[in-house]
Amino acid sequence: MPAKKVAVVIGSLRKDSINRKFAHELIALAPPSLEFNIVEIGELALYNQDLEEHGATAPQAWTHFRQRIKEADAVLFVTPEYNRSVPAPLKNAIDVGSRPYGDSAWSGKPAAVVSVSPGAVGGFGANHHLRQSLVFLDMPVLQQPEAYIGGAAGLLGDDGKLNNDRTREFLTKFVAAFAAWVETNAKS
């Protein structure tokens, strides 16, 4: 069976992002039934309907992003929490992918959410605010295990790699559950 394509969407634009580091760890720990592509969100103009309606042509970055999401069988979100919610660039990417009306790139794609924070709460607020949008976008989201990675800075060594066996074990379990979820819920 060919590997299922997973678009990885990272909620931080920061060069040294701990979320990006965790995304790479998840990719490395995943079973071969999943093939990952990080889909960048930093170049997406803020969503504004005027940019693609009444004869206007949508910005190329939007079109490209929508295409990359459509090509994927599933989506893995790895995100920090900003002020107990979803960082603006990620919410913008969600909005861009959801339009034009009736042609959402997200529709029906199985997904999982991992929130990563140096704080103790592990990005719970962002994780669940994101889930609220994904329900509306008709994306079946992995329920268990939940992944709120708290104290995350201390789980990475100076080389940016995971230095904690229990976390590695958890992430391995998480991404295996996601692979099973994708197998069950992917459309093709």
Ligand X SMILES: Cc1cc2nc3c(=O)[nH]c(=O)nc-3n(C[C@H](O)[C@H](O)[C@H](O)COP(=O)(O)O)c2cc1C
Binding site for ligand X (CB under 6 A): 12, 14, 17-19, 80-84, 117-119, 121, 123
**Min. distance of Cβ 19 from ligand X in angstroms?**
3
Report d(CA 86, CA 98) in Å as an integer. Answer: 16
Choice between 31 and 160, CB closer to ligand X: 160
Report d(CA 179, CA 30) in Å as an integer. Answer: 8
128 beta partners = none
**Min. distance of Cβ 143 from ligand X in angstroms?**
22
Choice between 11 and 110, CB closer to ligand X: 11
Strands (E) across 62-133 are located at: 74-79, 111-116
Report d(CA 52, CA 114) in Å as an integer. Answer: 32
**Min. distance of Cβ 16 from ligand X in angstroms?**
7
**Min. distance of Cβ 12 from ligand X in angstroms?**
3
Choice between 10 and 182, CB closer to ligand X: 10
Residue 152, both tokens: 């995350």
